[in-house]
Amino acid sequence: MRAVITQMPRHWIEERKNSEAAQWDEMWNGVLHMPPMPNGMHQDFVGDLRDYLKRNWAKQRGGLVRADANLTTPEDEASWTLNYRVPDLVLVDAARRHIDRNTYLAGAPLVVVEIASPGDETYDKFPFYAGLGVPEIWVIHRDSRTPEIHLLGSEGKYTPATAGASGWLHSPATGVEFRQTQNGKVWARIDGNESTATELPEE
C-alpha cells in the first residue's frame, strides 16, 4: 500500500527517527520515503552476500563493500541529508574509494545492490543511480531469488544483462557471477572460478 502525506507532523518524524526502521529511510530531493523494514530472508541474504563479497572480491582488490550506506551526489554533498538513497549494498573499487565519507558516499560506487521486495521502489531509483553514473545495478528479488544485472549504457539508461549458455549472469565491472538453480537457490562465483562458488544465503 502506498500513502502520501503532504506534511509529516513533527512528532511523527521524531518517533520515526527513534525507531529501528529509520535506518532505511531515504530523502528524494527533500521528500521522505519510508520503505518497510526488511524481513528475515532479506536481511540474511544481504548479510551473506556482503560477507561473500568482502572475502572474495573487496579484499583482493582494495575495495569496499558497505551495507545500507547513504548515497548522495557530489552536488548535494553540502546538504546531503536532503537527497540520498540507501541501497542494500554498495561495491566501491580502489579507484573510487575517494567517494567514501564514512557517514555517506558522495559519488558513484562501482555497483549498487538492491534486494527487491514486492511493491518497493527499487526500479524507481534507477534514474538517480544513472545520474550518478553507477556502472551496474544488481537486483535480486527477495521472494523468487531471481538475480538481475543492469548495465549503464552510453545513453544514460540501464539495460539488463543476459545469462550465458551455462546460466551464469556475469558482471563486467567486477567479475562476479550469479546463477539461479532449479530449486530457487542463488549461486555466486568470481571470474568463473569454481573454488569461489557458494550458495546464497548460506545455510
Query: Does position 172 have pLDDT exceeding 90, yes or no?
Result: yes
Tell me the backbone φ, ψ of residue 26, rounded to 5 degrees. Answer: -130, 155
| pLDDT for the residue numbered 10 | 65
Q: What percent of the chain has pLDDT over 90?
A: 72
Architecture of domain 38-200: Alpha-Beta Complex (3.90)
Mean pLDDT (the chain) is 89
pLDDT tens per residue across span 4-14: 444 555 655 56
Report the amino acid identity of residue 47: G
Domain ranges of the chain: 38-200
Neighbours of 9 (CB within 10 A): 9
Q: ∠112-109-167 over CA atoms, to 5°? A: 45
Of the candidates 88, 86, 80, 134, the residue with the CA atom closest to the CA atom of residue 106? 80
Q: What is the mean pLDDT of residues 63-83?
A: 96
